[in-house]
Structure 1
Amino acid sequence: MNVTVVEHIQKKSPVKKECEDALVLNEHAGVYGVLDGATPLVCFEDEAGHNGAYLAAQIFKTKMERLKSGERLVQAVEEANLHLKEEMVRYGVQTELGEERWSTCVAVVKVVDDQIHYVQLGDSMILAEGEDGKFMTVTTDSVKGISERAKQKRVERRKGGENIPPESYYDIHMNRLRYNRRLANVEGGYTVANGMPEVMEYLDQGVIDRKGIRSLLLISDGLFHPELTLEETYQRIGEVGLESYVYELTEHLNKHSLHIDDRTAVWIKLN
């Protein structure tokens, strides 16, 4: 069984200076991926004008694209995450503050022999299409519902006697985002690559049998459709193709005045 076709697309958000997503196309090692840098809440830029989201995604892209066929995905994540931490320290980032950290979601597969190895963090997702035509999600979106879980954590902490600001404080968008970022890679929070050693504890990883798999789809959350499930999204992409789907989605978001994020996908067809 071989990879026969790899299609990919990347579109920058119209409201961003540069695309904070990254693609991995390492055909030699059978490694493909989508990385989605989390838009920073602070105004750091390096000498070239890149922010932490861009840098985090690019660090992981470089590591995955240099991976050799005999190397393991999990090890690559660990090494990229360590490099990310080192780069933040080098630039004087206050890594003890969740909102200061550079971070990226990760969805990467390695297609080798009769197996598909995968690693995932955050809300970049890996989906599979079976030979029976059914579409399924392989990974879990750990970002989904984070604001509700964060609110519940605050309720519990107040009950425990902690001095937590009232909920009206968290009605302010930036305050809510800062609190959410501090829930990265903790119990009841969400997963993301941000240099914390706990990333490896929360990494979604596994191996699936290639037998019965017709194709794989890796997407950043910019491809999520507000009115379709991920499986329905995959089905629509199968019907019209990546380019047309992204066009349709963008038109829908524009029409309803909804946020248009970076939109990145890799579609791997197997034989």
Structure 2
Amino acid sequence: MTQQRQLPQLVMRRASLADLPPFRLPEGYACRSLQPGDEAHWERIVKLAFGRERSFRESIQSHFYYRPGRVLFLCREGIPVATACAWQEPEWGEDWGYLHMVGVDPAFAGQGLGYAVSLAALHRMKEDGKACAVLETDDFRLPAIRTYLKLDFRPDVPSEALLSRWKQAYRELGLPYGVKVMSATRPGSAASANEDALVVDPEAHVYGVVDGVSAMLPYKDEAGFTGGRIAAALLVEALGAGDRGDASEPPGHSDHSHHSDHSQYDLAEAVLRANAALMQHMLDAGVDVAAKWKRWGAVFAIVRWRRTHLEYVQAGDCMLLARYRDGSVRTLTRNQVAEFDLKALQAKQQLLKDDTLPAEKVSQRLKPVFKCNRDKANAPDGYAVMNGDPALAYTMEYGRISCANVVRIYAVTDGMFHFIENDDDPRKWEKLVDALDERGIEPYMDELEREEALDPDCERHPRHKKSDDKSAVILDLPNGPETSFARS
């Protein structure tokens, strides 16, 4: 090959095989282990994938750990096109499986076959009693490294020289070194726009969620954006984030020149800039800002990773949580809106007990309750919300925590937890993040939507509406400073 191999090779480790994602075959493919005659297919795939010939007998069959069931293939119309070995090498120890000889026929590249066949090999390792997994790769195999990162492998960095090589690989991949990001957002209803937004800015290491809050009076601009969606987009822009979720950029806010130096801006200052911009936007739109219930707004939960510590800002009912190396969960924020939402919900339930009241009458009688709640925005006895009020500077929460032993950070909007929002269970937040860890963001959203569909009248789980916009960002952090990746 034309690329120059550096020695020693790069090493990546997966700390546990207990939490493997389920194996799903790409459409049109089958997975099987080695069958008689597949030796030639293995040699063909390896030559195409690595650019050099290798003998199956010498490289695989003569190895002490060889079993046909440990050599896996993905097949298209019965022909193997991708391969991986669920292996073991003595130097790594009995508990460590070794992901070996992952190769894909280039004619079938770009279909996720490397990920799929590697995951199949990891499941086989787990069946063989392995507790964790390790692999070796080359600096120039960037697509493979990206695949291994998706499979939750992490760099092994026992020296400064290897740290430099890993940082270079991450730069070439366009990824933040040491951090893995998972995120998703979706609207509460297919008939309505998503007023949530994601904040995902790897360059500045800024991540989180924003939940737009529309005024009680309906509003849409010429582009069809609601007030809540505009507010969310303004905050995402002020933070300089690259991933806006569904809250697309409103007209007149496309200049990002004031964020040319991502390393210097302060999170709280960025929020206050967006807050001032929102006030101007509302004035330009003719909104009567003297009445808080007529204002647009956004609540948020944002973190910035600083390697040794995390900075955060939060308002309203978006939540931030942290998981530590020992498995414990820390709630970094509080749901500032919960008590006000609960009062409105109790008032609604009381009105619904009167079967003679039509739905429109119930809505009319609830309006004073909702207006009263909106008047608590940024008040000393209320809650924080970005609604153009300068008092946000005093009501939003912000601060920093040490990264020591923090392995995962979660940012979620209230649509992810409205079933448990008023639950007295002291472990409800821990159970939420346990469910996210077990299922993943998208499957968790799917399950939540199924439960919502079974409770369309909001009786089993009392709440204001059947379904709300849902967003989550999860960060996997290195276990301490960069050099702590050292081999044990």
Task: Report the TM-score, using the length of structure 2 for normalisation.
Answer: 0.50
Matched, 1:248 2:447: yes
Pairing of 1:192-207 with structure 2 (within 5 A): 192-207=385-400
SS at match of 1:188: coil
Check if 1:33 corresponds to 2:196. Answer: no
| Cα-to-partner distance string for 1:176-224 (whole Å, 9 max, x where unaligned) | 2122111101021121110101001011001010111010000000000
Name the SS of the counterpart of 1:235 in structure 2: helix
Q: Within 5 Å, which residues of 2 pair with 1:104-183?
A: 104-147=298-341, 172-183=365-376
For residue 467 of structure 2, what is the aligned residue in structure 1? Answer: 260
Q: Specify the alignment match of 1:222 in structure 2.
A: 415
Structure with the greater alpha carbon radius of gyration: 2
Higher-RCO chain (CA-CA 8 Å, sequence separation at least 6): 1
CA distance in 1, matches of 2:204, 2:454: 41
Unaligned runs of 5+ in 2: 1-175, 242-255, 345-360, 459-465, 479-488
- RMSD, aligned CA: 2.2
Rate the CA distance shift 1:147–1:24 in 2: closer, same or farther, 3 A. Answer: closer
Which amino acid counterpart does residue 110 of structure 1 have in structure 2?
A: R
2:267 to 61, 73, 91: 73
- Residues 91-102 of structure 1: pairs in structure 2 closer than 5 A: 91-102=285-296
* CA deviation profile, 1:219-258 (whole Å, cap 9, x unmatched): 0000005247122100111111111111111111221223
Q: Helix, strand or coil for the counterpart of 2:368?
A: helix
Letter in 1 for 2:471: T
Deviates more, 1:38-47 or 1:104-113: 38-47
Q: Distance in 2 between matches of 1:183 and 1:15?
A: 31
* Structure 1 contact 114–211 (Cα < 8 Å) conserved: yes
Residue 209 of structure 1: aligned partner: 402
Percent of aligned pairs with the same amino acid? 30
Runs of 4+, deviation exceeding 2 Å:
1-4, 147-150, 168-171
Q: Is the 8 A contact 2:412 2:472 kept in 1?
A: yes
Distance 1:3 1:39 in 2: 37
Partner of 2:373, secondary structure, is: helix
Give 1:251's aligned amino acid: R
| CA displacement at 1:149 relative to structure 2 | 6.9
1:39 deviates by: 3.4
Identify the range of structure 1 (45-54 vs 117-126) with the bigger mean alpha-carbon deviation.
Answer: 45-54
1:21 paired to 2:177: no
Matched-pair contact (CA < 8 Å) for 2:234–2:274? yes
* Alpha carbons 2:380, 2:395 under 8 Å: kept: no
> Helix, strand or coil: the match of 1:195?
coil
Contact 1:149 / 1:189 at 8 angstroms: preserved in 2?
no
C-alpha distance 15-188 of structure 1, shift in aligned 2 (>3 A): farther
Give, in whole Å, the separation in 2 of the partners of 1:95 and 1:120.
23
- Residue 270 of structure 1 corresponds to 477
Partners of 2:379 and 2:293 lie apart in 1 by 14
Deviation of the 1:13 alpha carbon: 1.1
Shift of 1:175: 2.6
Matched to 1:73, the amino acid is L
Secondary structure of the corresponding residue to residue 172 of structure 1 = helix
Query: How many residue pairs get matched?
Result: 255
Preserved CA contact (<8 Å) 2:214 2:295: no
Matched residue SS, 2:433? helix
